[in-house]
Amino acid sequence: MPELLTVRGLRVSYASRRRGARVAAVKGVDLDVGAEEIVALVGESGSGKTTLARAVVGLTRADGGTIAFRGVPIGRPGSWPPQQRRAVQMVFQDPKSSLNPRMPVEKIIAEAWRAHPEAAPEGDRQRAVRGLLDQVGLDGTVAGRRPGELSGGQCQRVSIARALALRPALLVCDEAVSALDVSVQAQILGLFAELRGRHGLSLLFISHDLGVVRQIADRVAVMYLGEIVECAPTEEIFTAPRHTYTRMLLDAALDFVV
C-alpha cells in the first residue's frame, strides 16, 4: 500500500512552568498512513496522541523530525503550500465548539472555500453545500440552521462536510466520536467507512476507546509517554499484543473488546 503520510523522528515539546525548561510530548515518533488506510492511534490521556495529530495538520510546531505528504516534506506550520494544507483536514472531538455558533451551516461550509478558492465548486455553491450535507447524511434544510439548533451528532456531520468541501486525502480525527452517544458513534463510524470508499480517503483516527478502534482501523499504533511502542494490524494488536503497555490497555478495556 503506497504511503500517503510519512512521519519520521518527530519531536514536539512544550514550555514548562520551570523557567527555561521544556517538557517532551512527542519523542522521535515514526508513523505511516497508506492511501485509503485507516490507522488508529491509541493510548491513555497525556500520551501525546493529540500533540502528534496537531503537528500532522500543522497546528503545532515540531522541534525536529520530518512530516511528508505523498513523499514531499511539508515543512513548518505556516509554510505549507495551499494544496497540502487542504489535503490534510482535522475533525475535532467537540463538534459544537469547532463550529462558529453565529453562522448558519451553509456559511460554515462555504467559509472553507473562501480560505481555499482553488477547491471551490464551479456553479451554484448552495447546491454544492446541499450535496455535501447529503453525503454526510443530513437533510438540505440543515443548511439554514445554526450549530446551537443541532444535536452533537448532526454537528459532527457538519464538521465532516466542512472538511470534505476541500476534497482532502487525509482526515485526522481526534476523538471524533468520544463525545457522542453509543448509537450515534456507530453511525459516524459507518459514515467514515462509507466516505473512505467513496472518496478514497485515509484516516488517522485518534481514540482512547479500543472497542471503537477495533471496528474501524486497519492498523493500530500504540502511544505511551510520547513514543509509539507498537504498531501492527488491528487483529494482531487485539489477539497477540507484543508490548507490555498494549497488554495493559487491553486488560483495562476488556469489557469493551471481548
Q: What is the pTM of this model?
A: 0.91
* Residues 104-143 pLDDT 10s: 999 999 999 988 888 888 888 899 999 999 999 999 899 9
Q: What confidence tier does 258 reach under pLDDT thresholds 50, 70, 90?
A: very low
Q: What local confidence, expressed as pLDDT, does residue 161 receive? A: 95
| In the predicted structure, residue 252 carries a pLDDT above the cut 90 | no
Q: What local confidence, expressed as pLDDT, does residue 257 receive? A: 42
Q: Which residues pair with 221 in a beta bridge?
A: 41, 231
* Residues 146-188 pLDDT 10s: 999 999 999 999 999 999 999 999 999 999 888 888 889 999 9
CATH number at residue 117: 3.40.50.300
Q: How many domains does the chain have?
A: 1
Domain of 157, in residue numbers: 3-257
| In the predicted structure, residue 221 carries a pLDDT above the cut 70 | yes
* Residues 39-79 pLDDT 10s: 999 999 889 999 999 999 888 889 999 999 988 887 665 56
Percent pLDDT > 90 in the chain is 67
Q: What local confidence, expressed as pLDDT, does residue 78 receive? A: 55
| In the predicted structure, residue 238 carries a pLDDT above the cut 60 | yes
Q: What local confidence, expressed as pLDDT, does residue 43 receive? A: 93
Strand arrangement of the beta sheet that strand 227-233 belongs to: 88-91, 170-174, 202-207, 38-42, 219-224, 227-233
Q: What confidence tier does 217 reach under pLDDT thresholds 50, 70, 90?
A: very high
Q: What local confidence, expressed as pLDDT, does residue 256 receive? A: 46
